Structure 1
Amino acid sequence: MKLVEEASYNKYDLEWVKRVKVNLNNCLAARRRGEWNNLLNAIGYPSSPGSLKPYAWPELDICRVEALLKLSRVGEAHQTALRAAALKVEPLPSSFSQPQTRFFLGMLCRAYLYFVESQLNFALERYDDAAEYAAKALEIEPHNTEIKIFKKNVELVQRALSSSKLEKWAEAVRDYEIVHEALPYDKVIAKSLCQAQVALKQSRREVVLNMESGGDVKEISSLEELKAALARPDKSVKIIYF
């Protein structure tokens, strides 16, 4: 991948560019395998004074945001995005100035930018914005299967939300189940699915045992809390997400 324009730079800059290229190759391999912790390790923060840094860091920042989202570290991903000029869609950084020719991690740069922006908005429960950015990414990469699948998941969540408002719980459960299978790491979707399942049972006048706060999912953050949850009577409903 070409990181900088043909311009004057010193030997130290060239060494820095070589390190960035190695990092990008490692990022690509880790992303393809879904090894998100390894991807974060591969990104690093190569440091070098001068004008080269802005050409590489935007792409690495976007990659970092996506990896954090996949690891359910949404808060960190959001803060990284806020700090990263790469996620400021207008104006785009110079490294994204040629969207029809520049690639990053096997995807056109501008499409990848929009794709990660869509994932971030999805994690923040901004589903309309997520749909908008997914559509923009697909306009640039119309044959990209990964973007197509994610866009479909966003649309399913939007439909599930509409079904929930209309108390069409069976339809909501069906859509949430599809999305949960595709995105098992997403705690918000897991909780929404659980709540829709409880509402469906209640609408059918089925008995729902020991579901607190209308079936809210309780996040377990310690071994003691896990033991307490497992120690409940056998008739209790226990759905544990890791």
Structure 2
Amino acid sequence: MPLHFRVGQVENARKHLCLLGQPQDRTELQKLQAVEKHLCKCTDARRIRDWKSALRETDAAIASGADFSPQLFMCRVEALLKLHQLDDAESSLSVVPKLESCTNSCSQTKFFGMFSEAYLFFVQAQIEMALGRFENAVTAAEKAEQIDPRNVEVAVLLNNVKLVARARARGNDLFKSERFTEACSAYGDGLRLDPSNSILYCNRAACWFKLGRWEHSVEDCDQALSIQPNYIKALLRRAASNSKLERWADAVQDYEVLRRELPDDNKIAESLFQAQVALKKSHGDFGEEACNIKQFRAAISLPGVSVVHFKMSSNMQCKQISPFVDSLCDRHPSVDIEESPEVANAENISILPTFKIYKNGCCLKEMVCPSREMLEHSVIHYRSYNP
């Protein structure tokens, strides 16, 4: 009885417990009844797609003694997957008891209306799909169909998995050929069959980005991240799209998450700094100090015109003209040559105050001790400059 009970075979466990002429163990019978009750509730919850209840009842059945049932552990994986808790679902796979450790009769029992072994492959196919391993998903679904060829639920899954895998492969081929609009359509075909697939949403977001439709890219990344919150590719694409839309606060938020996840990635660090600088500029904070070459290059490479004020805090002319520059310029990074001598040397600054106008990282004009009229005229002129 203990083995049948632990693997969740309640009917076989009951038969063993209730053999004629054998005294019934009240404690074991109570455990069996508890597992039966939770399994029944779990079956009902799964049938109506109440995945929170299915997860709760599965955990209760395991806690009641059916702690070596691969099917119950895979039911837990399925419920977590349906609840969009993909990381938890994936980690739960590592604690699923191996089928070969179970009795041979285990695979011949029914679980949720399908053969027990088929159910294991049925859930595996779903999680492989969610993780973007589409070929593995097809293989698992085919194994489930081989074990239980008459089960409708298995047949439907196999058909969907094949169609989604085909749509994703077609989308990838079109993307590689730079046929981004057609690739969007292909990924959309897959999403109509599997509307909770974060991989397909992220792939389509890449297409929207290439097409310059950054709003759509953000929307698809939002969908992907609602399903898989720590999806690095989706975070990167959303941050890049928000930067294109000049939604700097949103871009900074995503880059900060990415920085914590990938602390050694220099590109992310640079993108974060650029977004932070742009955010401050958008709030009217024109006093941003560029303290080193890296920060200086990032500041002058931002979209639009940057007017850089090379100054010294003790220089009276610098002090007098700074308020005028603040009111005049859309983007006004400053470099204190005492604090940032390497920047001053790289830009060959010898007389103060000096102003340089940059666009997309290129210096368009240099002015040494300019009058207010000259500075204003130059800024107005280069704002509309389009080389």
Shared fold, TM over 0.5? yes
Which residue of the partner structure matches residue 185 of structure 1?
A: 196
Compute the TM-score of the two structures, normalised by the length of structure 2.
Answer: 0.47
> Comparing 13-22 with 171-180, which one deviates more in the overlay?
171-180
2:121 & 2:101 partners in 1: Cα distance? 11
2:82 & 2:42 partners in 1: Cα distance? 14
Which residue of the partner structure matches residue 99 of structure 1?
A: 107
Q: 1:178 to 1:145 in 2, by over 3 A?
A: farther
Asked if 1:26 corresponds to 2:41, the answer is yes
1:194 & 1:60 partners in 2: Cα distance? 36
Q: Report deviation, 1:93.
A: 2.0
1:148 & 1:184 partners in 2: Cα distance? 19
Which residue of the partner structure matches residue 16 of structure 1?
A: 31
Which residue of the partner structure matches residue 86 of structure 2?
A: 74
Q: 1:25 to 1:213 in 2, by over 3 A?
A: closer
Q: Is the 8 A contact 1:176 1:193 kept in 2?
A: yes
2:144 & 2:183 partners in 1: Cα distance? 26
Q: Is the 8 A contact 2:125 2:138 kept in 1?
A: yes
Q: Which has the higher contact order (CA 8 A, sep 6+)?
A: 1
Structure 1: segments with no counterpart, 5+ residues: 203-207, 234-242
Which residue of the partner structure matches residue 58 of structure 2?
A: 43
Deviations 1:114-138 (A, max 9, x none): 1011112222222111111100001
Which residue of the partner structure matches residue 74 of structure 2?
A: 62
Q: Is the 8 A contact 2:131 2:199 kept in 1?
A: no
The alignment partner of 2:16 has SS state of coil
Q: Is the 8 A contact 1:36 1:70 kept in 2?
A: yes
Q: Which of 130, 133, 142 is matched with 1:135 structurally?
A: 142
Q: Report deviation, 1:186.
A: 2.6
Deviations 1:90-124 (A, max 9, x none): x2523x63433x10111111111110111122222
The alignment partner of 1:40 has SS state of helix
Which residue of the partner structure matches residue 108 of structure 1?
A: 115
User: Larger Cα Rg: Structure 1 or Structure 2?
Assistant: 2
The alignment partner of 1:217 has SS state of helix
Asked if 1:2 corresponds to 2:11, the answer is yes
Q: Report deviation, 1:33.
A: 0.7
The alignment partner of 2:150 has SS state of coil
Compute the TM-score of the two structures, normalised by the length of structure 1.
Answer: 0.71
Q: 1:179 to 1:2 in 2, by over 3 A?
A: farther
The alignment partner of 1:143 has SS state of coil
Q: Percent identity?
A: 27
2:147 & 2:217 partners in 1: Cα distance? 44
Q: 1:215 to 1:73 in 2, by over 3 A?
A: closer
Deviations 1:53-92 (A, max 9, x none): 456x43221111100011111111111110111xx35x25
1:30 & 1:126 partners in 2: Cα distance? 28
Q: Report deviation, 1:216.
A: 6.9
The alignment partner of 2:60 has SS state of coil
1:214 & 1:171 partners in 2: Cα distance? 19
Q: Report deviation, 1:163.
A: 1.9
Q: Is the 8 A contact 2:180 2:207 kept in 1?
A: yes
2:184 & 2:150 partners in 1: Cα distance? 29
2:172 & 2:190 partners in 1: Cα distance? 18
Q: 1:198 to 1:62 in 2, by over 3 A?
A: same
